[in-house]
Amino acid sequence: MRQIKHPTIEQVELTDIMYALADPTRLEIVARLAKAGRKMTCGEFDLNRPKSSMSHHFKILRSAGLVETVIDGTEHMNSLRIEEIERKYPGVLQSVLKATTAIDFDIFRQPPR
């Protein structure tokens, strides 16, 4: 598989988005992507979880139309499909992202030893 298949924005349902964003891990991934404002590899999010779990969450984010993944060598570069989502569901992603900036997500921090 050369590149990964993504749904078109027409295929993206609101409930897909809500479901994808309802999981704290995925909400954190989306929030970090937005904050970074650039493409990020899966490995860059060190959420203290095995890569099979991360891969699972990215798969759901892709199928919800929230994330686009471009394969570049061995790395998978992820970015938010924020313009498309905003066009179809104005304000949804924007307001949720705004609401997340105040949140700490300290559950993902590595416990100090």
Binding site for its own copies (CB under 8 A): 14-15, 18-19, 21-22, 24, 27, 89-92, 94-96, 98-100, 103
Tell me which of DNA, its own copies, none is bound by residue 103, counting a contact when its beta carbon lies within the kind-specific cut-off of 5 to 8 angstroms.
its own copies
Order of all β-strands in the sheet with 40-41: 40-41, 75-80, 67-72
Please spell the DSSP secondary structure of 2-62, one letter per residue: -S-----GGG--HHHHHHHHTSHHHHHHHHHHHHHTS-EEGGG---S--HHHHHHHHHHHH
Return the one option of DNA, its own copies, none that residue 96 interacts with (CB less than 5 to 8 A, by type): its own copies
- Grouping H, G, I as helix, E, B as strand and the rest as coil, residue 75 is strand
The entry of its own copies, DNA, none near residue 92 (CB within 5 to 8 angstroms by kind) is its own copies
112 binds, among DNA, its own copies, none (CB under 5 to 8 A by kind): none
Q: Give residues 39-78 in contact with DNA (rule: CB under 7 A).
A: 41-44, 49-60, 69, 71, 73-76
User: 5: closest CA among 68, 89, 72, 75?
Assistant: 68
Q: Which residues contribute to the site for DNA (CB under 7 A)?
A: 1-2, 4, 19, 23, 25, 41-44, 49-60, 69, 71, 73-76
